[in-house]
Amino acid sequence: MSIEKNLDKLQLSRRTVLKAGAAGMAAGAAPMIIPSTAHAHMNEPTGSSVTLGFNVPQSGPYADEGADELRAYELAVEHLNGGGDGGMMGTFSSKALQGDGILGRKVEYVTGDTQTKPDAARASARSMIEKDGAVMITGGSSSGVAVAVQALCQEAGIIFMAGLTHSNDTTGKDKKANGFRHFFNSYMSGAALAPILAANYGTDRTAYHLTADYNWGYTTEEAVRTSTEAIGWKTAAAVKTPLSQTDFSSYIAPVQASGADVLVLNHYGANMVNSLTSAVQFGLRNAQANGKNFEIVVPLYSRLMAKGAGENVKGIFGSTNWHWSLSDEGSKAFVKSFGTKYGFPPSQAAHTCYVQTLLYADACQRAGSHNPCAVAEALEGFEFDGLGNGPTLYRAEDHQCFKDVLVVKGKENPDNEFDLLEIVEVTPAAQVTYDASIFGGDLGTCNAG
Amino acid sequence: MELSAILLQVLNGLDKGSAYALIALGLTLIFGTLGVVNFAHGALFMIGAFCSVTLQRLLSISTVTLDETKTDFLGNPAKITTPYVETWFGPEVGSAIIDWSVPLAILFAIPIMLFIGFAMERGLIKHFYKRPHADQILVTFGLAIVLQEVIKYFFGANQIPAPAPDAFIGSFDFGELIGMGAGTLMYPYWRIVYFLFALIIIAAVFCFLQFTTFGMVVRAGMADRETVGLLGINIDKRFTIMFGIAAAVAGLAGVMYTPINPPNYTIGMDFLVISFVVVVVGGMGSLGGAVLAGFILGILESFASMRQVIELIPGINQVVIYLAAIVILLARPRGLLGRKGVMES
């Protein structure tokens, strides 16, 4: 009896000790966001629904692009839950998605406002993870935001499916095991543009770069510079312009006398609209230099924002991730769903966000789990087609998608208000593929929370 | 560095300075008459710019017909729009009216801006006359944000192009004019128009204050409000009108600026901070100082943006205005043309 009693006591005390130890370990290792210890991973869905977090700029200068991202997310959720015409789910090469949500759970969503500020974006992502139980965060319209939110998701044990982010760093030096990018990057823009520029403007050219003074501007300038110098172009100068600059006249005016015959505008959003408007005002599009026609290049085009530059975009080369006028089955299906629902064609930001949501859902379905490590494994090395960019690979080494890149040109005679860009060349993925190690960084290991 | 490059930046500076001077002029008028620091003044510039956009849209209201021979992005018959003005006045006159929408917007904007100015002063600002400047700044800044969001709600966050009439597309050859050789110093027509327009507005405001009885009373009120009141003159009413005029000046600066940079809802805030620096550098309450400082800082900013200057002093383009402000205020604490006793206890 007494021995049994003692054993009971011992077992009790052992259990207590183990519990206390486990609690102590949990407390000691607690990350800034505290996961529920009862679950296998952070925010593991338990009920009949699963919540996704859409973190897009709802205020600030990129709010229109954010609104378009949100439209795409709402459409994706509708299609995942079996509503609408299914959009690109019908053309997607993977057939794991059944239109019954993700892993049988209805897809619900919460939204956050990034304000295109890294701090605000982190705060809204954190709130969606902690308060709303979002199992995945996606969206955004800037690389600064993408890098900040990606790091937060890594720390929290949540998958991050980046929205529009074009800097090499997102899947380069700042890459994370929990982060994935479908959108293309500066390197790819440079690699796709250079041959087209050589074919159209020749190899004996001198470029003058105006570069937005922040991370994306630097990587884009470097990419375009490297790729154009490789085809024989020279670089006359590269001038950094403040992000807050509105009137670019004092930067544009000296360009013509600099000996350059091409102006490269490494600008996005309002910067791009204003600098391009100034360049055209100062007559650069019709000017002559070194015995040739002066040319302007905009490495990253956004149709939504190009609209602000009006007729000034005509004839100007740039690159884009996707365009609604593509004629593949996936693009057609997406434009039809989106256009029917909203009355206008989707932007490239909307496209990448829609695709990222489908890719995440499909990876969960194939992995049979929402566990970030299982989802990451399902996405790594995943080859797919039918989502508007042709055959695509989610490279395992840096979580970057490799697919065809579009070189576009401002259309001379648009048929309608959306018809601003025409596709000049679909650059094959092989031509824009690079070694995963060239941008440094370390993926680390996946974190399930 | 070539002479033409230097002259080009002088022209750029005068052009930038035009916008700064016009906004700072309005700010100084309001501060000088009502003693109010109006942080919503940038928003008035922005509303002016959107008067251009609104008129352009009003003139473009169209009848819609379906063209079965063409398709839209969804493959449905394309919608062909014909503006009413083209139906009413014929295609040539109609398209010319739309083409000239920005200059026409001056006429459209004046009554709107005067009304907004009166409404702002009577509805909100007058309740803050006797409150500390900090309260005035907070309430007017809050108002600016509200006005921004209202514009964003109706027009979206992206920029909207409102181009200059076709007649003003292209550049004027200053090089040929001053004998430096053709093509050496080209400057866009519309920017020259903007500079001349700013000069006319500035001259008109000065003449109004200098040569009319109304202006004389206002100037007297600015110097000594109490004595003017004791003489039985309703100075408040005149100051309200001055607020309306200041709003119209900012609005017109915005209207004419739209072809230079397509406006979005933040365009006023972009100018506001610099305009306050301009007012302080010019001397609080000094109209001449505001105009002078506007042009000086515009020219300085242009020179600091030159590649050769940035290479010499990296980052100077980001800070030159503030650096100049520090130097000027250290040398002349009341600003360039500031008077004793203004904003001083």
What pLDDT score was predicted for residue A422? 93
- A308 and B170 in contact by Cβ < 8 A? no
In one letter, which amino acid is B186? M
Closest B-chain CA to A287: B183
Between CA A101 and CA A88 the distance in angstroms is 15
pLDDT on residue B342: 61
Whether residue B60 lies within 8 A of chain A, CB to CB, comes out as: no
Instruction: Provide the pLDDT for residue B343.
Output: 56
The predicted-structure confidence for B169-213, as pLDDT tens digits, reads as follows 989 988 888 888 887 888 999 999 999 999 999 999 999 999 999
Please say if the pLDDT value at position A13 is more than 50: no
C-alpha B163/C-alpha A304 separation (Å) is 18
Domain A49-184+324-403 and domain A187-320 have a common topology: yes
Kindly report, residue by residue over A293-336, the tens digit of the pLDDT.
Answer: 999 999 999 888 788 888 899 999 999 999 999 999 999 999 99
**Distance from A416 to chain B by nearest Cα, in Å?**
8
Chain A residues touching residue B98 (CB < 8 angstroms): none
- Residues of chain A with C-beta less than 8 angstroms from the C-beta of B317: 241-242
> Percent of chain B, pLDDT > 70?
98
Q: Positive or negative CA dihedral for A176, A212, A295, A327?
A: positive
pLDDT computed for residue B225 by the predictor:
81
User: Given this model, what pLDDT does residue B92 score?
Assistant: 93
Q: Which CATH class is domain B3-56+101-331?
A: mainly alpha
Per residue in B253-298, pLDDT tens? 999 999 999 999 999 988 888 988 999 999 988 889 999 999 999 9
Residue A124 pLDDT level (bands cut at 50, 70, 90): very high
Per-residue pLDDT band at A36 (split at 50, 70, 90): very low
Q: Which residues on B lie below 8 Å from A310 (Cβ)?
A: 161, 163, 262
Considering only alpha carbons, which residue of chain B is nearest residue A60? Answer: B157
Judged by a CB distance cut-off of 8 A, whether residue B188 touches chain A is: yes
Residue B344 has pLDDT above 80, yes or no: no
Domain boundaries, chain A: 49-184+324-403, 187-320
Please enumerate in sequence order all residues whose Cβ is within 8 A of that of A10, keeping only pairs 6 or more positions apart, or say none: none
Look over chain A and give the mean of its residue pLDDT values, rounded to a whole number. Answer: 90
Mutate to test the interface with B, among A247, A258, A340, A411 (most CBs of B within 10 A): A247
Question: Which CATH architecture is the domain A49-184+324-403 placed in?
Answer: 3-Layer(aba) Sandwich (3.40)
Which residues from A are below 8 Å from B163, CB to CB? 310-311
Computed on alpha carbons and rounded to an integer, the radius of gyration of chain A in Å comes to 24
Q: What is the pLDDT of residues A52-66, one digit of tens each?
A: 999 999 988 888 899
Residue B323 has pLDDT above 90, yes or no: yes
Contact A62 B156 (CB under 8 A): no
pLDDT of residue A256: 85
A187-320 CATH fold: Rossmann fold (3.40.50)
Coil, strand, or helix at residue A84? coil
Q: Look at residue A30 and tell me whether its pLDDT is greater than 50.
A: no
**pLDDT for A7:** 40
**Is pLDDT above 90 for B308?**
no
Mean pLDDT of A167-171: 96
Q: Which residues in A128-258 belong to E strands, given as ranges?
A: 136-139, 159-162, 179-181, 206-212, 234-241
Class of residue A186 by CB neighbours under 10 A (exposed 0-12, middle 13-18, buried 19+): buried
Give chain A positions within 8 Å (CB) of B306.
250, 254
Indicate the domain borders of chain B. Answer: 3-56+101-331
**pLDDT, position A166:** 96
Q: Choose among A242, A310, A324: nearest Cβ to B318.
A: A242
Which among A266, A176, A161 is positioned nearest to A224, based on CA atoms?
A266
